[in-house]
Structure 1
Amino acid sequence: MESEDQFEKHVAERLKRLRVERGLTLDQLADLSGVSRAMISRIERSEASPTAALLARLCSALGVSLSVFFASAETEPSPLARRDDQPVWRDPESGYLRRAVSAQGTGSGTDIVEVEFPAGAEVRFPGRPSGRSQAQHVWVFDGVIELTVGDTVHRLEAGDCLFMNVGDVHGYRNPTDQPARYAVVISLGP
């Protein structure tokens, strides 16, 4: 597994590579994502670690899921994703830990992510366009989370599963003093 410094460098390189591949300037990506040009530049230089909400906005503007963003271009495609090889990222703001469980480079239209969500943590997402054909299931293994989807707050406990459009999710919150663990299964659509 990568060290935190190596992973931050990977995030910086990946963001710049995706932006350049799409022919976007820093200003264009800033306009599309609503993230300041200065912040994007700092992330690309490994001077700032993006929060989950900020990274979600950048990925949406680039047209990729977080799992695709974290996938290593150097990794050989394999149907098997060993735990030690799965990309892990910690949100610097909420402390949530995100593990991309899916095998990389298989061409599958589904991503599977495991999340460890700290007690009392919250992640808010600004409104995002929901026309990207991405849907997701959130399946809680342990603890409690509250998801704000559109105008509705759903309280999910162990064993509960909720289906939604990715763009309709406005926030995740752990209202308890215990950590929560859940899976997110994302359908990337056509």
Structure 2
Amino acid sequence: MSDLDQLTQSLARNLKRWRNERGFTLDALAARAGVSRGMIIQIEQARTNPSVGTTVKLADALGVSITTLLDYEQGPQVRLVPPGQAVRMWSTSTGSQTTLLVGTEARGPLELWSYTLMPGDGTASDPHPDGTTELLHVTEGTLTLVVEGEEHALPAGTSAVFEGNVPHAYRNDGDRTVQMTLAVSIPPVR
């Protein structure tokens, strides 16, 4: 598949996904974006490759970045963010700072949790509703995150984002206490 074909397929998949997530009809998105309904249908069916301007209008109307709308990846279910990829947004000479650890495009209820897992302990979760996203940040120890049976080691300072609509678990396989913060975004009931 050529790069252009891959881009066209990604845009088709992502546009339809985000339009449905936002609960927009074709007509509603067309009105918000100032793009014809017919053009949106062609894009969602991967029959056309729109201009950059049209793509930006659609991304803006959906409230997502153009990067999100054009994301090539089928998307690994888990995206790890090593400490070096966190973005320092603000800092002062006295040491105050804010750092964007990890983010995702999501809406609906959002929960923030603090976890302490002693060595050898763990907890499992049944799948949440479709559209649920979990974000976590490990502040101490090394967490073993298991998503659909695949294990991911997250040392302190690492963040991750994954879709929570599959079986998942958090384990401490090490000999140090694991401390982490977890945010869960649950889609609203339609």
TM-score by length of 2: 0.40
Q: Which has the higher contact order (CA 8 A, sep 6+)?
A: 2
Q: TM-score, normalised by structure 1?
A: 0.40
